[in-house]
């Protein structure tokens, strides 16, 4: 919840002080916070390092990197390459997750805090790289406290300004919120019910991230004119279908469905980033992306415990996945198809 609350002011602050400075703050906060968490010997130190540093770092990073990449391309009139660039960035993230999921498991056996310490150390290396970034001068505004408070309201307004953006944002928030629940809760529960051991789950998700990374990297580079609106709809329809099949599959096919689901989630996130960035102004880009992320995460943050109860009520994660997939299918068809064919 702390990182969600931080999304509100940090997105606006990013647009006012500059995206490069925001990334420096993000990497510095996250790096220090992870090292403090890994070496903490009390609950208070753990809480402070998480809430004050790690959550703040994540909030400053959220939307800032995407906004910086898009504005950098826009400054050179290369914004048509954004889908390739963001696909490459997300592929690198996924490959890093694949490697770290294996390394982190072994590092934990050496010392429980070692994975966090390593995370913090690598993040501080990224901090050094941030100083070499060049921020394009696009729609810049001089920072002031009055403009800061005004900026906080512009993100929400941008998401719902005009019929097109309103329909697009409602769909992205609804489908995105359900996607977050799937990634953070349902996928793990299903893997356990399909018979994967803890070590097996780590290797399963490592393999899934590797494949999803290649899909994120190379699909935008294929000589196909991708319809981003269609990707937003089809990716969620296929995700819903994989959930509907959950009760009748076993370990092998279940792992394959999970792989397909993660790939579709990557396509959905990439298309979301492309469509939102194409339809908002540079001066409110980071604020708007942070607002979107906040609205997507609120249901998961507030309803996580209720989702656990719903799984128990359904009898198993497989049964819950069936009903969840049905709702996702209804949301996708009902809201996604209402978006005009603008992009």
| Extents of the domains making up the chain | 2-336
> pLDDT tier at 343 (50, 70, 90 boundaries)?
very low
Give 220 or 330, the one with higher predicted confidence: 330
Check residue 157 and give its pLDDT. 80
Quick check: 292 pLDDT over 60?
yes
User: How far is it, in rounded angstroms, from Cα 329 to Cα 335?
Assistant: 10
Distances (CA, A) of 323 to 14, 265, 315: 39, 19, 12
CATH architecture of 2-336: Up-down Bundle (1.20)
**DSSP secondary structure string for all residues of 3-14:** HHHHHHHHHHHH
Question: pTM for the complete prediction?
Answer: 0.77
Check residue 127 and give its pLDDT. 92
Positive or negative, the CA dihedral 110, 114, 118, 119 is positive
User: How far is it, in rounded angstroms, from Cα 13 to Cα 102?
Assistant: 36
**DSSP secondary structure string for all residues of 188-237:** HHHHHHTT--HHHHHHHHHHHHHHHHHHHHHTTTSS----HHHHHHHHHH
> pLDDT tier at 7 (50, 70, 90 boundaries)?
low
- 137-170 CB burial, b ≥16 within 10 A, e <16: eeeeeeeeeeeeeebbebbbebbeeeeebebbbb
Check residue 233 and give its pLDDT. 93
For the chain, the C-alpha Rg in angstroms (whole number) is 20
User: How far is it, in rounded angstroms, from Cα 220 to Cα 91?
Assistant: 11
Check residue 144 and give its pLDDT. 54
Of 121-125, 179-183, 207-211, 256-260, the range with the lowest mean pLDDT is 207-211
What's the CA dihedral at 34, 269, 21, 35 to 10 degrees? 0
């Amino acid at each position: 919840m702390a990182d969600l609350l931080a999304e509100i002011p940090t997105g606006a602050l990013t647009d006012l002080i500059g995206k490069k400075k925001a990334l420096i703050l993000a990497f510095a906060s996250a790096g220090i916070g992870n090292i403090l968490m890994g070496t903490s010997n009390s609950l208070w130190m753990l809480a402070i390092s998480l809430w004050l540093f790690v959550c703040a770092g994540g909030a400053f990073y959220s939307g800032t990197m995407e906004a910086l990449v898009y504005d950098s391309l826009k400054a050179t009139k290369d914004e048509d390459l954004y889908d390739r660039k963001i696909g490459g960035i997300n592929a690198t993230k996924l490959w890093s997750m694949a490697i770290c999921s294996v390394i982190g498991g072994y590092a934990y056996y050496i010392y429980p805090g070692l994975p966090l310490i390593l995370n913090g150390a690598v993040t501080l290396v990224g901090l050094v790289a941030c100083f070499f970034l060049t921020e394009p001068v696009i729609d810049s505004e001089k920072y002031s406290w009055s403009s800061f408070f005004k900026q906080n309201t512009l993100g929400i307004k941008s998401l719902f300004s005009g019929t097109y953006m309103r329909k697009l944002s409602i769909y992205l928030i609804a489908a995105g919120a359900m996607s977050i629940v799937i990634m953070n809760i349902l996928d793990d529960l299903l893997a356990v019910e399909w018979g994967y051991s803890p070590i097996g789950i780590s290797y399963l998700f490592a393999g899934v991230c590797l494949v999803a990374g290649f899909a994120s990297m190379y699909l935008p580079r294929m000589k196909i004119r991708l319809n981003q609106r269609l990707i937003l709809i089809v990716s969620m329809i296929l995700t819903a279908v994989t959930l509907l099949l959950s009760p009748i599959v076993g370990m092998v096919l279940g792992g394959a469905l999970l792989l397909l689901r993660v790939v579709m989630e990557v396509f959905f996130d990439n298309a979301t980033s492309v469509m939102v960035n194409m339809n908002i102004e540079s001066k409110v880009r980071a604020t708007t992306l942070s607002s979107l992320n906040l609205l997507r995460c609120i249901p998961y943050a507030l309803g996580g415990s209720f989702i656990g109860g719903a799984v128990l009520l359904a009898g198993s994660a497989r049964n819950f996945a069936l009903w969840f997939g049905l709702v996702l299918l209804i949301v996708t068809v009902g809201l996604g198809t209402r978006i005009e064919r603008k992009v």
